[in-house]
Amino acid sequence: MAMPRFHTVAAFVVLAVSAAWVLTGEFSSIGSAAPETSGETPQAEKPAAAEAAKVLRTVAVMQPNFIEHNRIIRISGVTAPDKRTTLATRSAGILGELKVEKGDKIQAGDVVLVLDGAEKQSMVDTARAVLDQRQKEADNIERLVKNGISPSTQSDSARSALASARSQLESAQADIDRLTVVAPFSGVIDQVMVEEGSWLPSGEAVAVLLQLDPVVALGEVSEREIVHVNVGRQADVRLISGEIVSGSVRHVSLEATPGTRTFPIEVAITNPDNTVPAGMTAEIMIQSEAVTAVKLPRSVVTLDAAGNLGLRILKADNTVGFVPIDLIDDSPEGLVLSGVPLDAKIIVAGQDLVSDGESVNAVPADADLIAAATIKAAEPSQ
């Protein structure tokens, strides 16, 4: 009988071993029946472990130095003369004498021009002579009446004639006065529109007179800032040339301009040498009452979820808070802000990477960090 081959015997052996393993049922312990290892974390403990493993953001905070600062209200304006008038003739006639030129400084009551009026002067002389005659007649009648020679009715007629003569003289003198144009106030002659020898009708414009001391800066303040402006408050006026002159508010309108809801104001500026002309563009800067404020780099200011301008601060429990602020002034050293709590710790680095209520790791901000932020904020944007 032939011996079976080796591979046939091996196959029967493997088959017998496999059948015995299946019959024992030990394959069911793989996966679901596998024993638990001691190092595995229970499902309930995973969130706590994740929270403990979370890394807090680091922010730099500072305790601000509070200052007393005057709010600067800036208003666009223009300079104007304190007074301006166009001088005109009061009677018709030939311009006989022009006493001023452009640029002349004159005083109130100075004669600007005189019209020819020889015939009117003769009327004054005649009226004065008639008045003298009527005065003598009235005096004689009074003596006669007093002595009983003439009736009292003649005295009444004499007084009436005297009054009429006096009225005629006053009328003739008024005609003479209307030949002369005088300055109603002190100022400078800015324009002359006539020449000697020309015929001028009554009411003809002859010259423009300006009073530039004081010169006035005119502007309009918004309804939000009108509460900070009142008569007598000091103001600086920056001219288009860069020169800054000082003055005071002399008028604040009690009625807003309907179209803009702004209130016209006037700032009077001393101008003895007329160095500040009228009609020049100007910026009016009015100081309001001092308020408690802080000066911070522009980069510190941020926005909350609603778009409000403010600062991120560190609360007592090391969480982030937000406080709205009021922008008072803008200077090269930074923004001047009010509305900041006196005990606030302001986040000056990392404020845009955290949100309200978030716990943070706060470290004090050093002087170099604040100085760098200030310099960066002051640099012009490219």
Three-state secondary structure of 23-67: HHCHHHHCCCCCCCCCCCCCHHHHHHHHHHHCCCEEEEEECCCEE
- Paired with 70 in beta bridges are 290
> Tokens 């179209």 belong to which residue?
259
- Paired with 346 in beta bridges are 62, 313
Query: From the CA atom positions of the chain, what is the Rg in Å?
Result: 49
Mean pLDDT for the chain?
80
Strands 57-62 and 346-349: antiparallel
State the pLDDT at residue 280. Answer: 94
pLDDT tens digits, residue range 273-322? 889 999 999 999 998 888 888 888 888 888 888 888 889 988 888 899 89
In 3D space, the residue among 266, 331, 245, 231 whose CA is nearest the CA of residue 75 turns out to be: 266
Cite the residue boundaries of each domain of the chain with CATH code 1.10.287. Answer: 117-178
Task: Give all strands (DSSP E) within the chain, no chain letters.
Answer: 57-62, 66-88, 93-98, 105-106, 111-115, 180-182, 187-192, 199-200, 205-222, 234-239, 244-252, 262-269, 281-296, 302-303, 309-314, 320-324, 326-331, 334-338, 346-349, 360-364
How many Cβ atoms from other residues are within 10 Å of residue 152's Cβ?
11
Fold of 57-69+291-378: 2.40.420
State the pLDDT at residue 373. Answer: 53
Query: In the structure, what pLDDT confidence band is assigned to residue 265 with cuts at 50, 70 and 90?
Result: very high
State the pLDDT at residue 32. Answer: 39
Instruction: Check if the beta carbon of residue 211 is closer than 8 Å to that of residue 185.
Output: yes
Q: Helices 118-146 and 152-177: crossing angle, nearest 10°?
A: 160
Instruction: Check if the beta carbon of residue 203 is closer than 8 Å to that of residue 222.
Output: no
Whether the pLDDT of residue 208 is over 90: the answer is yes
CA 202 to chain centroid: 45
Q: Read off the DSSP letter of residue 108.
A: T
Whether the pLDDT of residue 109 is over 60: the answer is yes
Cite the residue boundaries of each domain of the chain with CATH code 2.40.420.20. Answer: 57-69+291-378
Between 155 and 29, the higher pLDDT residue: 155
State the pLDDT at residue 27. Answer: 43
Strands 205-222 and 199-200: unpaired
State the pLDDT at residue 1. Answer: 42
DSSP 312-375: EEE-TTSBEEEEE-EEEEEETTEEEEE---TT--EEEESGGG--TT-BEEEEEPPHHHHHHHHH
Fold of 73-81+211-290: Elongation Factor Tu (Ef-tu); domain 3 (2.40.30)
Mean pLDDT highest for which of 123-137, 261-275, 312-326?
261-275
Cite the residue boundaries of each domain of the chain with CATH code 2.40.30.170. Answer: 73-81+211-290
Q: Which residues contact 276 (CB under 8 A, 6 or more apart)?
A: 79, 212, 215, 239, 245, 269
Architecture of the domain spanning 117-178: Orthogonal Bundle (1.10)
How many Cβ atoms from other residues are within 10 Å of residue 72's Cβ?
17
Instruction: Check if the beta carbon of residue 220 is closer than 8 Å to that of residue 128.
Output: no
